[in-house]
Amino acid sequence: EVGPEVGGLRSLTDLDMSYNNLGGTTLPSELGLLSNLEFIRCDECQLTGALPTEIGECTKLESLSFETNSIGGTIPTEIGQLTSLQHLNLNTNDLEPGAIPSALFRLTQLTTLNIYSNSFRGPAFPNDLLSNLTNLQRINFSAMSLSGTIPTTELSVWAPWLTRLQLGRNNISGTIPTEIGTLTRLQVLVLERNSLSGSLPSELGELSDLGTLHLGSNRRLNLRDVPPELESLLRANLATEDFLYRPQDEILPPTRKR
């Protein structure tokens, strides 16, 4: 159990309680008294209840992770006060259905935003996500009910940094834009199980660092006609041990270099 006594640890900078069975514990409001905290990690702890609004008082936080718990309710608007936050992991919880909370778009220093396996719905790419969170390197919005289309020219704001874009198992429609080729640092691109349509853009072949590409189960996406540029990339990268290409539901095992 995490009791109110935790509020007495005023000099604490790192708090990691991951993989402990806290038996349905709710985070206490006294957590907000730990104004020197820079790192909180409580993954797989069986936490319940809602995130306390007082967490917004921990303004020195750089990393916040509560993944794989049973946290419910809404993400408090006060989380937008954590302007030093760089890493946020809230995936695999029971957060209340609704649009991606706008408070997250005030976290302009974020490099990691993982909120997958919750019940968020609405646009996958709200305007403020693209205009405010320009430092993102890793995005995982998979396994929710997000909709809309993949933006075009706006994608370029992430070009210098983005390495992981995971949007699988949503309701995203439209085509894969040619501007995807501007994300030249991409290593992981997951778009499987959406409602994408059209042809594969040849610009996918410009993603020379790509190590994982999942496109399966988009019924109207033409996966039969692979552009020569992408085919060349697949030939080159399938020869490495860490490349995973999933054009359909099956996984093609990578070929080991000889």
Question: 106 in the Ramachandran plot: left (φ > 0), alpha (ψ -120 to 50) or beta?
Answer: alpha
pLDDT of residue 244: 63
H or E, element range at 221: strand 220-222
Is the Cα dihedral 226, 227, 233, 235 positive or negative? positive
Token representation of residue 239:
């020869």
Profile the chain (258 residues) by mean pLDDT over runs of 10 residues. 78 94 88 94 95 96 97 97 98 97 97 97 96 97 98 93 97 98 95 96 95 91 91 78 56 34
Mean pLDDT of all residues belonging to the chain: 91
The one-letter code for the residue type at 67 is: E
pLDDT for res 255? 36
Nearest-10 Cα torsion for 86, 91, 96, 97: 100
CB contact at 8 A, 206 and 230: no
Where residue 251 falls (left for φ over 0; alpha for ψ -120 to 50; beta otherwise) is beta
**pTM to 2 decimals?**
0.91
Percent of the chain clearing pLDDT 70 (strictly above): 91
- pLDDT for the residue 242: 56
Query: What are the tens digits of pLDDT across the range 66-103?
Result: 999 999 999 999 999 999 999 999 999 999 999 999 99
Radius of gyration of the chain (CA): 20
pLDDT score at 236: 82
pLDDT attached to residue 248: 55
